[in-house]
Amino acid sequence: MKNSHVIRVTAILLLFGAGILSSCGVNVEFRTDLLTDGTWKIESLTSPDADPAILAFSKALLSLAEYDYSTNGTYEIIFADTSFSADPGTWEFSDVGLLYLDRGTDDEQTLTIHELTKDNLEYTTTDSSGTYTFVWKH
């Protein structure tokens, strides 16, 4: 009888937890509108793992470009100097606050979004060299 009570309580907690998680889901349409509303320029790039000189160099390179996310699920890197070019890529949201770039390719990146507003996009990403936080502005 005690095991039956534990099973019922566990089932109720699981259902309650699922209800909370589904009510806290990410509003993908809303976030899509924010992401695709103009181009994004780098504001800051930080990492506890990287050499400050390398971060400064990387930020300088990124400052030459703007990221433009389209509603059709593609993005383009637009360089101020037209001698650079980049192939467009793909993007998609997950329902748990992740943004995937070039999913299913060798260039795939998973970005954990911390803030997405009309004016700010902040995310972290981790690779073999460490964790990096990017802040972009419109």
Segment 29-54, tens digit of pLDDT: 458 999 999 999 999 999 998 999 99
Q: Which domains does the chain have, with CATH numbers?
A: 26-137 (2.40.128.540)
CA gap 74, 88 in Å, rounded: 7
Contact 104, 119 (CB under 8 A): no
- pLDDT confidence of residue 129: 85
Q: In Å, how far from its chain's centre is CA 113? A: 4
- pLDDT confidence of residue 13: 37
CA gap 89, 11 in Å, rounded: 43
The tokens describing 8, both together, are 């019922």
Which pTM does this prediction carry? 0.75
> Which residues sit opposite 80 in a β-bridge?
none
Segment 101-117, tens digit of pLDDT: 999 999 999 999 999 99
Residue 18 has pLDDT above 80, yes or no: no
- pLDDT confidence of residue 99: 94
Residue 22 has pLDDT above 80, yes or no: no
